[in-house]
């Protein structure tokens, strides 16, 4: 009980208005309110101290020549010295930078000082009213009333300070009047009490209104700076904090790290499961971010699945990498949303200030570049910005710009790499591979420009052109040759893809059975249900489906069981080592046996030596592809007798 009472008294002395029926506040909002209250008091204090000094001088003049002259001079001197000191300090504090928040102790000290001044003024009528002349009593009464009114006005934002200042003066005045004992002073006492009640109510009303207005203003500002979905600070708030961190870095040589965190597959989740589940995912991601970061780290949600973190403590590269790794690790566990398990792939880019820049735009450009490099390295990648990234970013920007016109300028072309049927030793088809010959940069690797095409949406137009061109080419070959084209995860989301493929077949006059589409496991991971639907539709058209690079990803047997697959392509990494690594050889044999049991044919990629080819024949692999069979060539180099010429070359 004693502790509770002490706590309530501490709250009261700190300016809390709940004891008077005022609004309730919690930290840190209470600290901001106290800062505003103290700022207003400091603004009024210099003028109030001038009034104290002038009133003290007035008292000395009123009592000059009386028996209390010496005491009055002493009393006034103490007050003038104290008022001068407090006034100068208050002016200096007010002119300095206003703090965003002040402690409870600051307000409590202010209340204490107000009480000391009020007590000194309360002593005035007690010491001098009884022995003063009528004229001097009028002066003392006016001075006391004036100080009561002035004190209430100065401390109107902090009622307890106003009470601490005015109550001693009221008490001193009442004691002085009672000691005189004149019946005419009874109305004066009644007037004093009425005056005190009216003044207190006015001060309390003003203070409550001020606090309530500040709370509403703070809530409004907070709403502007807060992301509605995750309750994290938003981009507006992040920009403010970043500017503050940069100012501190310039003025006080304080270093900090900026981390950009992105959910690589957030758009896929949104497209597949809908907006509601995507929003729920973001809420859970924000919660995990709070748990995996430190209290001193400023987290903000920028847009979509992108979050920013400003780390201003322990910013050595190894410490920041450890923080980033902790975030990545926390995101690995599946998110359970509405009974579904959703897996997220995240990447983090990091820039350091002032090393990478002391300008907000420059620092954001650096961290964005680092994030892009992290995303190109694959899921769960963490990358710091480096000077080389500037060149890479400039190159990417140039490629993105030029890729938009590459198709119209005839810079894109298809290379065709053959498949060899290991039973007949004849070429049975070709895989169409996209190539870009840049007019100034030369040949651009597909691994570099295809992700750009996917991110910019250009892949849809380019993919349709590639399918149409491949079909037109295959229509000129012997009817036992097929053509294979690759489809990316982005293309499979295009609702017009099926119609586009059907149109390409019709325009080329190519039989659907001679067209094969290749997909990778990444396509299935991002949208398995959608992929099944599209692939089944292609299968109904008699178009065959091949699963490329099998064995390098999750390699789920569900794919083999549920998908309408006609062919499985064993990744080149297994073929390369199968003659020297028993495990790779076992994997190749097992995949071939399993595929044959499921009535799926198998193509081995990356065949480069006759020994590899002989081994594949022994384990009954259906087809082979690689530099030994043939390198990718232009369409002009494929003749009608391609099947015979390749077979003869291999036999010799």
Q: How far apart, in whole angstroms, are the C-alpha atoms of residue 24 and residue 451?
A: 55
Grouping H, G, I as helix, E, B as strand and the rest as coil, residue 428 is strand
Q: Report, in angstroms and rounded to the nearest whole number, the Rg of the chain calculated over CA atoms.
A: 41
Region 506-526 average pLDDT: 84
Question: Is the pLDDT assigned to residue 49 strictly greater than 60?
Answer: yes
pLDDT in tens, 594-613: 889 989 999 999 999 999 99
Using the structure block, give the residue that is written with the tokens 């690689």: 626
| Helix-, strand-, coil-residue percentages of the chain, each rounded to 5 | 60, 15, 25
Confidence of residue 259 (pLDDT cuts 50, 70, 90): very high
Question: Is the pLDDT assigned to residue 349 strictly greater than 70?
Answer: yes
Q: How far apart, in whole angstroms, are the C-alpha atoms of residue 300 and residue 286?
A: 9
Confidence of residue 146 (pLDDT cuts 50, 70, 90): confident
Q: How far apart, in whole angstroms, are the C-alpha atoms of residue 182 and residue 419?
A: 122
Confidence of residue 181 (pLDDT cuts 50, 70, 90): low
Across the chain, which distance is largest between two alpha carbons, in Å?
Answer: 137
Q: Domain residues of the chain, as ranges?
A: 2-224, 235-385, 398-651
Question: Is the pLDDT assigned to residue 392 strictly greater than 80?
Answer: no
pLDDT in tens, 529-545: 667 788 888 888 899 99
Predicted pLDDT of residue 250? 82
The most confident of the ranges 260-264, 361-365, 621-625 is: 621-625
Question: Is the pLDDT assigned to residue 8 strictly greater than 60?
Answer: no
pLDDT in tens, 85-106: 988 888 877 666 566 677 778 8
Predicted pLDDT of residue 189? 64
How high does pLDDT run on average in the chain?
A: 82
Predicted pLDDT of residue 524? 62
Instruction: Estimate the crossing angle of helix 275-292 against helix 266-273, to 10 degrees.
Output: 140
Confidence of residue 623 (pLDDT cuts 50, 70, 90): very high
Q: How far apart, in whole angstroms, are the C-alpha atoms of residue 515 and residue 492?
A: 17
Superfamily of domain 398-651: EAL domain (3.20.20.450)
Q: How far apart, in whole angstroms, are the C-alpha atoms of residue 15 and residue 158?
A: 6
**445 is written with which tokens?**
């690797």
Predicted pLDDT of residue 640? 45
Q: Kindly report the CATH class assigned to 235-385.
A: alpha beta
Q: b/e per residue, 560-580, with b = 16+ CB within 10 A?
A: bebbebbbbbbbbebbbebee
Predicted pLDDT of residue 514? 95
Contact 419, 430 (CB under 8 A): yes
| 283 phi, psi to nearest 5 deg | -60, -45
Question: Is the pLDDT assigned to residue 650 strictly greater than 60?
Answer: no
The most confident of the ranges 13-27, 217-231, 315-329 is: 315-329
Question: Is the pLDDT assigned to residue 151 strictly greater than 70?
Answer: yes
The count of C-alpha atoms lying within 13 angstroms of the C-alpha of 546, restricted to the half-sphere facing its C-beta, is: 26
């Amino acid at each position: 009980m004693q502790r509770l009472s002490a706590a309530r008294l501490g709250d009261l002395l700190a300016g809390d208005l709940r004891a008077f029926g005022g609004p309730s506040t919690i930290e840190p909002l209470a600290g901001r309110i106290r800062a505003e209250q103290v700022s207003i008091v400091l603004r009024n204090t210099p003028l109030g101290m001038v009034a104290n000094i002038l009133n003290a001088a007035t008292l000395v003049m009123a009592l000059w020549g009386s028996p209390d002259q010496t005491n009055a001079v002493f009393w006034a001197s103490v007050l003038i010295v104290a008022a001068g000191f407090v006034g100068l300090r208050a002016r200096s504090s007010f002119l300095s930078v206003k703090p965003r928040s002040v402690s409870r102790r600051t307000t409590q000290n202010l209340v204490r000082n107000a009480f000391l001044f009020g007590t000194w003024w309360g002593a005035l009528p007690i010491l001098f009213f009884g022995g003063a002349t009528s004229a001097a009593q009028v002066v003392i009464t006016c001075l006391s009333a004036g100080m009561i009114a002035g004190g209430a006005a100065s401390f109107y934002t902090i009622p307890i300070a106003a009470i601490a200042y005015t109550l001693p003066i009221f008490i001193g005045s009442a004691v002085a009047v009672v000691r005189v004992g004149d019946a005419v002073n009874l109305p004066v006492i009644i007037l004093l009490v009425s005056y005190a009640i009216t003044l207190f109510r006015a001060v309390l009303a003003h203070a409550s209104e001020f606090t309530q207005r500040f709370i509403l203003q703070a809530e409004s500002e907070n709403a502007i700076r807060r992301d509605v979905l995750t309750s994290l600070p938003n981009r507006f708030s992040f920009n403010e904090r970043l500017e503050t961190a940069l100012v501190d870095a310039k003025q006080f040589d304080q270093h900090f790290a900026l981390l950009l965190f992105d959910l690589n597959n957030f758009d896929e989740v949104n497209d597949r499961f809908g907006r509601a589940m995507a929003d729920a995912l973001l809420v859970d991601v924000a919660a995990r971010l709070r748990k995996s970061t430190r209290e001193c780290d400023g987290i903000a949600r920028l847009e979509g699945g992108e979050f920013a973190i400003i780390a201003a403590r322990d910013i050595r590269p190894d410490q920041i990498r450890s923080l980033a790794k902790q975030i990545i690790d926390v995101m690995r566990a599946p998110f359970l949303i509405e009974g579904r398990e959703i897996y997220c792939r995240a990447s983090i880019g990091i820039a350091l200030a002032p090393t990478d820049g002391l300008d907000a735009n420059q620092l954001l450009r650096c961290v964005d570049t680092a994030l892009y490099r992290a995303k190109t390295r694959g899921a769960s990648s963490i990358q710091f910005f480096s000077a080389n990234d500037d060149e890479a970013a400039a190159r990417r920007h140039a490629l993105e710009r030029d890729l938009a016109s590459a198709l119209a300028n005839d810079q894109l072309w298809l290379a065709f790499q053959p498949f060899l049927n290991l039973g007949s030793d004849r070429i049975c088809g070709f895989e169409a591979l996209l190539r870009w010959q840049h007019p100034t940069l030369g040949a651009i690797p597909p691994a570099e420009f295809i992700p750009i095409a996917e991110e910019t949406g250009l892949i849809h137009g380019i993919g349709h052109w590639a399918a149409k061109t491949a079909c037109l080419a295959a229509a000129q070959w012997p009817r036992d040759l097929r053509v294979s084209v690759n489809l990316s995860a982005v293309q499979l989301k295009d609702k017009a893809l099926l119609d586009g493929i059907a149109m390409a077949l019709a325009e080329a006059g190519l039989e659907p059975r001679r067209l094969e589409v290749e997909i990778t496991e990444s396509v299935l991971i991002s949208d398995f249900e959608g992929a099944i639907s599209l692939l089944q539709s292609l299968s109904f058209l008699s178009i065959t489906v091949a699963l490329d690079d099998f064995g390098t990803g999750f390699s789920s047997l569900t794919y083999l069981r549920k998908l309408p697959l006609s062919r499985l392509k064993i990744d080149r990494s297994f073929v390369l080592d199968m003659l020297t690594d028993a495990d790779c050889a076992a994997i190749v044999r097992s995949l071939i046996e399993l595929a044959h049991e499921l009535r799926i044919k198998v193509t081995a990629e990356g065949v480069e030596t006759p020994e590899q080819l002989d081994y594949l024949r022994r384990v009954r692999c259906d087809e082979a592809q690689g530099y030994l069979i043939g390198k990718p060539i232009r369409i002009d180099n494929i003749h009608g007798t391609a099947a015979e010429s390749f077979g003869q070359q291999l036999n010799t």
